[in-house]
Structure 1
Amino acid sequence: MDKKIENLEILSGKVLLFGGVYSNLQALEALIAVAKAEGIPPENCICTGDIVGYCAQPEETIQTFKKWKAQSIVGNVEIQLREEATDCGCDFKKGSTCDGYSQLWYPYAQSKLSKSSLEFIATLPDHIQFNYAGKKVTVLHGSYFNVSEFIFKSTPWGRKQSNFEATKSEVIIAGHCGLPFQDEKDTKLWLNPGVIGMPANDGKPTVWYAILDDKNNELTFKHHTLNYNYKLANSLMINGILPEAYANTIISGIWDNTEILPAFESSLQGLDLIL
C-alpha cells in the first residue's frame, strides 16, 4: 500500500514532540497544559503515533486528542485498529510476556473505540514531513521501512542512515521504542522524544517529551519530563481486564520486563536518563 505522507511545508517557533500516549488520558491532559503554557499552537504539536495503547481510556484519549487538533502519524496500533486486525502489530516475539499482555489490552482498546474515533484514526498519515530552521524533517514511528521496527540509541547507525537516505531528511523524529534519546552523526539527527503514556524504565513515574526551537534560525531541542496524575491513571487500569504489570509500571517507573530492549538499554533499568 502506498504511504500517506503529509507535508506541513515550513514550521517555525517551538514544536512540541511526543509519542505513545497509550490511552493515558491524564498524561495527555497534562501535556496539553504544557503546550498552552509554552504558547505552542496545536499545529506545532506532533505525536509519533500509538495514541491508543496499554492504559484505561482509549476512547476518551482519542476524542481529547481530536478536539486538541494536534498533529499525529499512525503507530502500529492505529494501523491495526483501522484494519480491524486481531493483534496490536507491535512485533513482540510470539509467546513473550509482552505478547501475552497485548492479548489483554488490545481487545480492550478495540472494544472501547467509537465509530467517530475509528474514523479519526483512519485520517492519520503514515509520515509527516516539514522544513524547520532550514532542515528537512521526517516524522516516523518505528522506521520508514517498518512501522514496528525497534530502533534505540544503541542501534547501529547504518540502520538509521538508510532512513535518512530514503526520506532525503536531515532530521528524523521517531517513536515506538518507548525510550527518549538522540543520536547525531554527519549533520544528521535521529531524535526520539519518548512517550507520555508510560515511564521510561528509569524508576520514576514521570514521562518524556521534547521541544524543538528555531531561535536564531538554528534547530535546537531539549528533552523534558512531564508530571501528571499517574495515581489516577494507575487506579483506572486496575479493572480486572488490563495487565496489572502495566498499572504497576505507571507507579514504579520500572518495566515489568526488558524483552524488547538491547543489552545496553536493558542495563540502564532504574537509572536516571542522561539526555
Structure 2
Amino acid sequence: MYPLDPSPEQMRAIGEAALEAVVSFIGGLEEAPAAGRGGGFELARRLRAAPPETGGPFEPVLAEVIEAAAHAYETCGPGYLAYIPGGGLFSAALGDFLALAVNRYVGLAAPSPAVVQIEENVACWLCSLFGWDERSQGLLTSGGSMANFSATVAARHAKLGEDLARGTYYVSDQAHASVTKAATLAGFSRRNLRLVPSDDELRMDADALRRMVREDLAAGLRPFLVVASAGTTNTGAIDPLEQVAEIAAEHDLWMHVDGAYGGFFILTERGRERFR
C-alpha cells in the first residue's frame, strides 16, 4: 500500500506499472471485438462494494480497472464504426496527466503566467484555423457539454441580462442533447426552446428558423440565441452556417456553433468549403 504522499521511488514504481498496463491495453485494441468481451454487467455486480476501512495495494486496483475497461464496447478500436464516443489520443492522455501532476493554479494568470500562456497559444492556434484575427479569444473546456454551457451563459448575459422569462433560443431537431441541457442549467425552461426542423439533408431549415424568429418577435418575445451544428453527432451534417449567420445578424441573435464533433473538418479543403 502506498501513502498519499509517495516517495520518488514509489511514484516511479506505480507510474511504470500504470504505463505498462495502459500500453498493453492500447496495443490490444486492433484485435479487440467491437462489442466487447461480454460479461460486463456480471463484472459490475461483482465490483459492488462498501467503502473499505483501509487502503490496499496499487497493483490489484490497477488490474481491476484494466479488467473493467476490457469488458466494454471497444469504441476506441478500428472495428467500431457506430456512434461517436470513440477516439482519443495517447498524447492527449499524457497531456491530462501532466496538467494534473504539476497542478498549477491557472484561475488567474499571475500565479502561473507561463502555463496560462501555453493555453492561450492553443486557443489562438485554434482561432487562426478558422480564419479569425488576433482580436479573437478562447478558452479550453472539459468537453462539448461545458463548451455549450459556457456559450449559452455568455449569450444570456450579453443579450438578456437578468430578464430571462421572454428569451427564446433556437436549435435544430438534430442538435446534441447537451445544447438543451445547457440552456436548462442556464435557467431556461422548455417554454423558451424553439426546436427548428431539419431539411432533407438533416440540416437546420434556415427558412423555418427565420419564420420562427419573426413569429416570436411579433409575439413580444426576445429571441437571443441560435445554436448551429458543425457536424451533428447523429449524421455529421453541417447546418447552413452562412444562412444562419445572416438571420442571426438580421435579428441581433447570438450565434453559437457546436463543433465538438465536426469542428476539425476545418483541416480539410472540403470542410473549409462547408464552413463558409
| Fold conserved between structures, TM > 0.5 | no
- Between structures 1 and 2, the one with greater strand share: 1
Max Rg structure: 2
- Between structures 1 and 2, the one with greater helix share: 2
Structure with more relative contact order (C-alpha pairs < 8 Å, separation 6 or more): 1
What TM-score range do you get, normalising by the shorter chain?
A: under 0.3
Q: TM-score, normalised by structure 1?
A: 0.27
Q: TM-score, normalised by structure 2?
A: 0.27
